[in-house]
Chain A
Amino acid sequence: MAAGSDQKKYKVIGTRPIRPDGADKVTGRAIYGADVQLSGLVHGKILRSPHAHAKIKSVDVSAALQAPGVLAVVTGADFPELKDKIAQLGEGAVNLAYLSGNLLARNKVLYKGHAVAAVAARTANQAEEALKKIRVEYEPLPAVTWVLDAMQDDAPLLHDDIHTDSMGNKSEKPSNISTHLHFETGDVGQGFKQADVVIEREFKTASVHQGYIEPHVATALWNTDGRLKIWTSTQGSFTARQQTAELLQIPVSQVTVVPCEIGGGFGGKISVYLEPVAAMLSRQCGRPVKMTMTREACFEATGPTPGSYMRVKIGATKEGKIVAGEAYLAYDAGAYPGGMIGPGCMCVFSCYEFPNAVVDGYDVMLNKPKTQAYRAPGATHAALACETIIDELAEKLKLDPIEFRLMNAAREGTRRVDGPVYPRVGLIECLEAAKASEHYQSALKGPNRGRGVAAGFWFNIGLKSAATANVNADGCVTLLEGSTDIGGSRASIAMQLAETLGIAAEDVHPAVVDTDSVGYTDVTGGSRVTFATGMAVYQVGRKIRAQMMERAAELWEVDAASVSEADGVYSSGEHALPFKALAVKLHEIGGPIVGSASVNPQGSSNGFGVQIADVEVDPETGKVSVLRYTVIQDAGQAIHPSYVEGQMQGGAVQGIGWALNEEYFYGEDGQMKNASFLDYRMPTALDVPMIETIIVEVPNPEHPFGVRGVGETPIVPPVAAMANAVYAATGVRMRDIPMSPPKLWKALAEKESS
């Protein structure tokens, strides 16, 4: 169902063509990173720290260099020493000195799995055997893996040169707290005085991993001409190029990144881990070097998203008006500064009008891998806190939870606590659609069953995208884009160009090309591709259209101003030719037509969603079963509705996994105890029901077709929706996530005995 849309407006947009890369992907022919084969290819492997925190006293690679088949060995000492320099990576920035330290440790290892050295050998097996011959002398140090522990004055210190930056002021002593953020609006003290009901709660969430099925992989060839070519699975080929060039201190134009098909990323495949290491190994041995990560290394050394501690307080009047909010958010950043606390602060109160609010956020380093973005990074945590308190307030005020949200919903003109004022947004429409849904209107009967709802927000970014299109002699159009296709964006981008040109979706042939073949394009992330790369191809289409009109004038020997175009048909007086027929004549009238465009939209496309969960809790085991689940979201304008639904369903199920099972278990030694897909329990097909979807369409005024980003918002509400549903089923409020069976069973037992 698409509420509020006018499907007749468009010919291509809103239809469901088969994705252009589909045939390759269902026959096993698509080339993912690990499928790359090159002449003379050799294999690289990484030695990783067995300690969560230790000084590296010495590294001796001499025996490894003599091992059978070994061609090269590198350590951190082989890489340029980098000064603090911030590189913008599209969705977030990174300090290159820290990125380099994460790539291969130098003086200290900061988490179990931290890379220490790398070997290239003729076979992968020889490389693995050679790793055993590298002698590393460590001096183990105490480790810390929980955010509140890491904030203590006497906590083990990760970096002795990082001081807390609190609104521009640096702390005197070095600290694990890298940043303290503070946002304020109105007068919070006065606000709480107006409140008739005030609820304050504490929340804890465990680290969770993005869980892409394809491990990190990269192949590099440092050629004899000095040029470096990299084949990799990345969310951003240009940001991979930039990071690699900076870490190796070579010009970006010396590096070409070929983006392979990518087996999932969700934010975790933006930072480089292997590319510069493979490059350095290749430089040393003169052969192309392929490196693939094990699943264990993916868990121990990449991702995850932060674990968090949150304390949030909200006050409302007895009439149901929110008057004040206060949030204290501490998110772990992993081993280096720069976690997800910024967007956490932005999102905690983002769904409602808070006349008075204060938010304090802390970015905290500890002995875990450097955290990475994970789909609306930081927002799911914050939504858990806000949305469960909203649920409690609604109950106290005897208001329907959707009604209470509607009474306070953010709308055009609402000012978010971190500053921005919303343009036209679709939260009210989503809440109305949720309220009217058959799901919400249906009765949920039976013992131990309950229904929960929650709303969520993600701002969605714009950023830089480029595209080029060539009109072929048969009237089809080849489209070159730089946005790596992680979930069907070739289709959504090609469809926008087809719509602009008035031709069929099948007549646009999109290709995701390397960094030498298209203009700079930021990462596939921030829910930006269909929005921003869509804007780029709209401009490409308009430029091609203008040239086609000139050619038509030439062909018909009429004044160019007399030529018009509608629905892909060019006409002037009695002359009329559809796009394809005109394209066939191009070689006679001036030669081929090429259109290129580059865009850099600022601001955000503001995605809101609401989700409804029905659960049943087994009181004997604490296991939660999902009975029914509906995702409602404002897509602005759904380009390919199947892939919009897919984003909504996929994000919701990741959130269900986060709510119920997924977590990093750390031992006293600071080591992760469940670094496998068996023990890190992601949802299987058997764990979830069909996920119902309702696409709401409140067009985004900032986009020619009204597109809003859709990829990230779906993971924001689920943890809160599930917690609210578990409460409705059991009377127990779960504020320690995940609500895994042992924890929920214990909470049920405590309730029973009290």
Chain B
Amino acid sequence: MTKKVQVSATVNGETVDFLCEPWQSLLDVLREELHLTGAKEGCNNGNCGACSVLLDGAPVNSCLVLAVEAEGAEITTVEGIAQNGQLHPLQQCFLEGAALQCGICTPGFLVTAKALLDQNPNPTEEQIRFELAGNLCRCTGYDKIIKAVQAAAKNLQEAN
């Protein structure tokens, strides 16, 4: 038996300490230890993006990050995107634009799209498609997702 490791990190703005096995993934710890089940497991090998979270602002597949690597890091999950009870413009535009059907991939898309708009407030359609290519959606054909991200970019720019 391996010994559990203590890790301190900031998750959605709150400092958290948790114990984890050295081989446990960040996804596993988020879901099973911290009870943040918004990040989903679709493949557990980095190919579907359903487990996307932001690690120090950059989107990562949390199934490919060891939980111990989160020491000292700032993590944002889908649960941390809405602020003070207000949906983020991306979340609002996903709802208004019917950009989800089953919704299992939605947390990953929202997180990845947020990272994109944080970096590039006015992306082209091609840039959005490129940045979201690591997130698989099997329901929508992507059309309404891309349009929702475009609408959110526009709303964010108008608000600033």
Please list the residues of chain A having a beta carbon within 8 angstroms of any beta carbon in chain B: 16, 18-19, 21-23, 25-32, 34-35, 37, 125, 210-215, 261-266, 292, 294-295, 486-488, 640, 642-643, 645-647, 649-654, 676-678, 682-686, 688, 690-691
On whether the beta carbons of B145 and A642 are closer than 8 Å, the reply is: no
Q: Is B35 on the interface with A (CB-CB < 8 A)?
A: yes
Across chains A and B, which 7 residue pairs bring their CB atoms closest together, nearest first? A28-B38, A263-B104, A653-B141, A642-B98, A487-B101, A677-B47, A649-B141
Q: How many Å from the CB of A709 to the closest CB on chain B?
A: 15
The interface centre, meaning the residue of B96, B137, B141, B147 with most chain A CB atoms within 10 A of its CB, is B141
On whether the beta carbons of A295 and B42 are closer than 8 Å, the reply is: yes
On whether the beta carbons of A292 and B41 are closer than 8 Å, the reply is: yes
A-chain residues with CB within 8 Å of residue B38 when the two chains form the complex:
27-29
The interface centre, meaning the residue of A25, A215, A265 with most chain B CB atoms within 10 A of its CB, is A25
On whether the beta carbons of A691 and B102 are closer than 8 Å, the reply is: no
Q: How many Å from the CB of B57 to the closest CB on chain A?
A: 19
Q: Is B79 on the interface with A (CB-CB < 8 A)?
A: yes
On whether the beta carbons of A25 and B106 are closer than 8 Å, the reply is: yes
Please, how many angstroms separate the alpha-carbon atoms of A547 and B50 in the complex?
47
Q: How many Å from the CB of A710 to the closest CB on chain B?
A: 12
On whether the beta carbons of A262 and B102 are closer than 8 Å, the reply is: yes
**Main secondary structure on B side of the interface with A:** loop
A-chain residues with CB within 8 Å of residue B34 when the two chains form the complex:
none
Beyond known contacts A26-B103, A263-B104: 15 more, CB 8 A cutoff = A26-B94, A32-B104, A35-B31, A214-B40, A294-B44, A295-B42, A295-B48, A646-B139, A650-B139, A676-B45, A677-B42, A677-B43, A678-B45, A682-B136, A684-B132
The interface centre, meaning the residue of A26, A37, A686 with most chain B CB atoms within 10 A of its CB, is A26
Q: Is B77 on the interface with A (CB-CB < 8 A)?
A: yes
Please list the residues of chain B having a beta carbon within 8 angstroms of any beta carbon in chain A: 21, 31, 35-45, 47-48, 50, 77-79, 81-82, 87, 91, 94-98, 100-107, 110, 125, 128-130, 132-147
Select which of B36, B43, B129 is within 8 A of A685 by beta carbon.
Answer: B129
On whether the beta carbons of A27 and B82 are closer than 8 Å, the reply is: yes
- How many A-B contacts at CB < 8 Å in the complex? 180
**What residue of chain A has the Cβ atom nearest to residue B111's Cβ?**
A28
Q: How many Å from the CB of A688 to the closest CB on chain B?
A: 6
A-chain residues with CB within 8 Å of residue B125 when the two chains form the complex:
690
Q: How many Å from the CB of B2 to the closest CB on chain A?
A: 10
**Main secondary structure on A side of the interface with B:** loop
Please, how many angstroms separate the alpha-carbon atoms of A28 and B38 in the complex?
4
Select which of A214, A292, A295, A647 is within 8 A of B104 by beta carbon.
Answer: A214
A-chain residues with CB within 8 Å of residue B48 when the two chains form the complex:
213, 295, 677
B-chain residues with CB within 8 Å of residue A677 when the two chains form the complex:
42-43, 45, 47-48, 136
Q: How many Å from the CB of A692 to the closest CB on chain B?
A: 9
A-chain residues with CB within 8 Å of residue B40 when the two chains form the complex:
32, 34, 213-214, 263
A-chain residues with CB within 8 Å of residue B37 when the two chains form the complex:
28, 31-32, 34-35
Please, how many angstroms separate the alpha-carbon atoms of A262 and B105 in the complex?
11
On whether the beta carbons of A646 and B144 are closer than 8 Å, the reply is: yes
A-chain residues with CB within 8 Å of residue B91 when the two chains form the complex:
26-27
**What residue of chain B has the Cβ atom nearest to residue A294's Cβ?**
B44
On whether the beta carbons of B104 and A678 are closer than 8 Å, the reply is: no
Select which of B42, B81, B97 is within 8 A of A214 by beta carbon.
Answer: B42
Can you name 16 A-B residue pairings with CB atoms under 8 Å?
A19-B98, A22-B95, A26-B106, A32-B104, A34-B40, A35-B37, A125-B21, A213-B48, A263-B102, A295-B42, A487-B101, A646-B141, A650-B141, A653-B142, A654-B141, A684-B133
On whether the beta carbons of A676 and B43 are closer than 8 Å, the reply is: yes
Please, how many angstroms separate the alpha-carbon atoms of A716 and B101 in the complex?
20
Please, how many angstroms separate the alpha-carbon atoms of A647 and B141 in the complex?
9
B-chain residues with CB within 8 Å of residue A213 when the two chains form the complex:
40, 42, 48, 50, 102, 104-105, 136-138
On whether the beta carbons of B95 and A690 are closer than 8 Å, the reply is: no
On whether the beta carbons of A23 and B141 are closer than 8 Å, the reply is: no
B-chain residues with CB within 8 Å of residue A35 when the two chains form the complex:
31, 37
With contact pairs A34-B41, A264-B102 given, residues A691 and B141 touching in the complex (Cβ less than 8 Å)? yes
On whether the beta carbons of B39 and A28 are closer than 8 Å, the reply is: yes
B-chain residues with CB within 8 Å of residue A676 when the two chains form the complex:
43, 45, 47
**What residue of chain A has the Cβ atom nearest to residue B142's Cβ?**
A685
The interface centre, meaning the residue of A23, A31, A210 with most chain B CB atoms within 10 A of its CB, is A23
**What residue of chain A has the Cβ atom nearest to residue B23's Cβ?**
A125
Select which of B44, B87, B130, B141 is within 8 A of A295 by beta carbon.
Answer: B44
